[in-house]
Every structure is written in structure tokens, then in C-alpha cells.
Amino acid sequence: MGAINLQEQFGKRYRVVLEESWQHEPEGSKEAEKPWSMEMRGRRGFVYPGGDYLVANTETYPAMRALQKMGLELMRHGQNEACFRFEPAQMDAVAKVLGLRKRRQMTPEQLEMLAKGGRRFHFKPVGAALDA
């Protein structure tokens, strides 16, 4: 059973990062373990894969209450944190509660303006400065 690939399913809407320990995985198993090492961070918690389901982890009491009211299954409840199990279809509601970071959505006009504004800062070939 493999993990849900967060980048493939939610990467267009939310920022997906690799957990910090992923870089220390052995080279042979690194790509196979990659989906298990993805997470989406937010202001009030984060989401990571748990197999064919997702896990929401939070340390704030208001977020814990909101996730419980949504009817998510409580997996673990520690002194300062709680983990909830949920289905991928519930991602938008959970993301709102946890304040997950969204990817920047830009229109083609905005992308063109950025490209045009950055042209004068592009590097010139090394020999060009000597010829002038």
C-alpha cells in the first residue's frame, strides 16, 4: 500500500514540501519513500499522508475543536497535540481550519509583467563586460 502523493493531488492549490529528514534517506529508497515524506504546513498545523488516508496534526485547541466538530476520526491526543484521520475529499475544509499555505496563482498577464521586469537583471556573458 503506497502513500497518497500530495504533490500530484493537491500541489496546484497548496504548497507541498518535503520533511527535513527526507534528505538523509539512503539513495536506493529515496524516490520510493518520497510520497511518505511530503507534508503541507499551515498556521495551525500540518497534513501528511498516512497510507490511503491523510493525517491532520495540530497543536492549537481551537483547531482541535473545529476538526472534532467536522467529525474527523481522532487518532492520537497528546498533552499538546492531536492527530486526526480524514479522506482526501475533505481536504478543502481541513485546509481552511489549519490555515494551510496556498500556492501563488498568477494570471498570464502577471507572469509577463514579472518576466519583463526581470529582464534587465539577467546575467550577461562574462566577455560582454570586457568588450564594452
Domain count, the chain: 1
Can you give the CATH number for the domain in which 36 is found?
3.30.70
Question: How much of the chain exceeds pLDDT 90, in percent?
Answer: 32
pTM, full prediction? 0.72
Backbone φ and ψ of 73, nearest 5°:
-75, 125
Rounded distance between C-alpha atoms, residue 55 and residue 66, angstroms: 15
Closest CA to 95 of 36, 42, 49, 53: 42
State residue 95's pLDDT score. Answer: 93
* pLDDT above 50 for 66: yes
**pLDDT, tens digit, 9 for 90 and up, residues 78-120:** 888 899 999 999 999 999 999 998 888 888 888 888 777 776 6
Within a domain: 67: yes
Within a domain: 13: yes
* pLDDT above 50 for 56: yes
Neighbours of 33 (CB within 10 A): 13
